[in-house]
Amino acid sequence: MGNYAVIGYPISHSLSPLIHNANFEAKGTDDNYAALSVHPDHLQHIRDLVASKELSGFNVTIPHKEAIISYLDEVDTDAKKIGAVNTVSIDGDRLTGHNTDITGYMNAFLEVFGQAKRRVLIIGAGGAAKAVHRAHANNGDDVTIAARRIESFKRFTDDDFKAMLISDITGTEEFDAIVNATPVGMKGEDLLKEMDIPESLISGSAVGVDLIYQPQKTKFLEYFADGHHMNGMPMLIHQAMDAYGIWTGEEGDYGAINKKYEEYIGGKS
């Protein structure tokens, strides 16, 4: 039996236990996954927590994704590049950091839209944008990031993208994929109207991604043709499946997780 967990603060909102436990159930294992509230002042005691809970691996969420790095023995190349870890593997007393937001996003994107070299616009320049940028840059795509203020680009250690201000978007630029990596749309807002972005930015052939998964279809995604859009749920499931892969070497059960999530959402609405 393996004990797994997500650490964060606050943590009660996390869907990770639902996702991982649905996967364990589908795989027929008696592994378990818990949400552990870890106050920032207590992150320094992470090894004590790993020992006392007998963890075989854990996920890391807000606000610990950056701070956890100083308590790890090793961090993989991409997680190091974006300065954020969301998955920790444990080998004896060695803790290694990974970032499956990067791989999970790309696995979801390629599964839905297929492989191609694309001109990609990412709107927003926070933590999720850094993972999405790394994913598309690794895929050889031509990435532009649009932020509302120039200071946001200081968060990036890489420079393999073009930077622009959202207010400078004219609608004549040509992009094959446009990603909303801001929270705008969670409360029903129309991202284009909120940010004063001309609708002409979205061509008929463009694909759209919203990292938001609740609501399931934001107003932003309504600008894209049928079959040309994806919400944040496939990324969320794939990042969990990639963490499971790192911990166990096995593939997670996407269908079972998605079914459990749909039941959960159905029960809430």
The distance of closest approach from Cβ of residue 166 to ligand NAP in the complex, given in angstroms and rounded to an integer, is 6
**Where on the chain is the footprint of ligand NAP (CB under 6 A)?**
101, 124-129, 147-149, 152, 166, 181-184, 186, 195, 211-213, 232, 235-236, 239
**Cβ proximity to ligand NAP, 120 vs 235, nearer residue:** 235
| Catalytic site residue from 27, 65, 259, 268 | 65
Handedness of CA 165, 168, 171, 172 (dihedral sign): negative
For residue 175, which of 199, 148, 207 has the smallest C-alpha distance? 207
**Cβ proximity to ligand NAP, 46 vs 166, nearer residue:** 166
**Is 130 a residue of the active site?**
no
Q: How far apart are CA 88 and CA 226, in angstroms?
A: 37
The distance of closest approach from Cβ of residue 252 to ligand NAP in the complex, given in angstroms and rounded to an integer, is 15
Phi-psi domain of 60 (left: phi exceeds 0; alpha: psi -120 through 50; beta: other): beta
Q: What residues are designated binding site for shikimate?
A: 14-16, 61, 86, 101, 213, 239
Residues 6+ apart with CB under 8 A from 130: 82, 83, 84, 155, 156
**Cβ proximity to ligand NAP, 152 vs 248, nearer residue:** 152
Are the beta carbons of 181 and 129 closer than 8 angstroms?
yes
Q: What residues are designated binding site for NADP(+)?
A: 124-128, 211, 232
The distance of closest approach from Cβ of residue 128 to ligand NAP in the complex, given in angstroms and rounded to an integer, is 3
The dihedrals phi and psi of 134, each to the nearest 5 degrees, come to -60, -40
Active-site residue list? 65
